[in-house]
Copies of this chain bind each other. A is one copy, B any other.
Amino acid sequence: MSILVVGSVAFDSIETPFGKVDNVLGGSAVYFSTSASFFTDVNLVAVIGEDFPQEHIDFLSSRNIDLRGLARDSGKTFHWQGRYGYDLNEAQTLATHLNVFETFKPRIPESYADSDYLFLANIDPDLQMEVLSQVDSPKIVASDTMNYWISSKPESLRNVVKNVDILIVNDAEARQFSQEPNLVKAARKLLDIGVKTLIVKRGEYGVLMFTRSSIFSAPAYPLEEVFDPTGAGDTFAGGFMGYLANTGDTSDEGVRRAIIFGSVMASFTVEDFSLNRLKKLNYNEIVERYRSLKAMTHFEGLPEMGSPL
């Protein structure tokens, strides 16, 4: 089944301790849809400016990403400039030029309205609600957000998270949104305000999923080279939703597997700038890392009865 993603297409200028690039392809919708495209068909809704080159459009098309929802407005494409120090878990934003993204009003093509899987990437929560109203009856909706919306539109955001199935945020966002420094308590508070499934991304420390009935803890794939973490979160979401859409298995087991696939996809993205690693990726490499994560986390349970000692 196909996925609809609504988010950003961007040019990124990035500095890490390992290198520097200018105006490379980025944006939440790009990372998400490229990652998801390894698992299923993707419909993309976003906006680009007049300066967006055919080369990038060709790349997205080559991944079988449907671009009928990609609008081109007069003006420049969204541009983000950031820097990472040796602590690659935290980006420092040097400049944000919203450009055409500032007046982005997502319009969902009619042919996308029956999408079963919907990902609302980090945009204004009021726009996220508008998108939600344009999609008929999706099976699973997941949403992301960021510190800016948590502080500037908390009411709108609360409305969104009540109306989606899965909230995917990083640990700092979970703490900020709940106003609670302890992550387990933060998760409980977010479940209390109506979040059904909470997925917390913790960078190199992996992912935690919280529901009313269980916690799932997934490690990140341990990497020798982390080159640029930009896009890791959206790549995670793409692998996660892509796997769900592919299998239609939304049981607890299915969602856990989807989280592992998301983590695997993110582990590739961070190995190079922009989409460079995903462009070279093949499906066997994905399966291999999935199996490695399975082997890395395995330990035996205790016998059901009697003393194990």
Q: What residues make up the interface of A, taking CB atoms closer than 8 Å to B? A: 39, 86, 181-185, 188, 202, 204-206, 208, 214-219, 222-226, 243, 246-247, 253, 256-257, 259-260, 283, 287, 290-291, 294-302, 307-309
Contact = CB atoms under 8 A, between A and B. Distances in A.
B215 A222 contact: yes
A170 to B, nearest CB: 14
B291 A308 contact: no
Given A215-B296, A294-B299, A301-B291, A224 B257 contact: no
A33 B83 CA distance: 46
Contact of A309 (B182, B208, B246, B253): B246
A296 B202 CA distance: 16
A307 B256 CA distance: 18
B297 A297 contact: yes
16 contacts: A182-B225, A184-B224, A185-B224, A205-B205, A206-B217, A214-B296, A216-B297, A216-B299, A217-B219, A218-B297, A243-B309, A253-B300, A256-B299, A259-B299, A283-B307, A291-B301
B298 A294 contact: no
B308 A287 contact: yes
Copies in the complex: 2
Contacts of A302: 287, 290-291, 294
Which DSSP category, helix, strand, loop or mixed, fits chain A's interface? Answer: mixed
A39 B259 CA distance: 35
A216 B300 CA distance: 12
A162 to B, nearest CB: 23
Nearest to A226: B182
A217 to B, nearest CB: 4
Contacts of A225: 182
A111 to B, nearest CB: 24
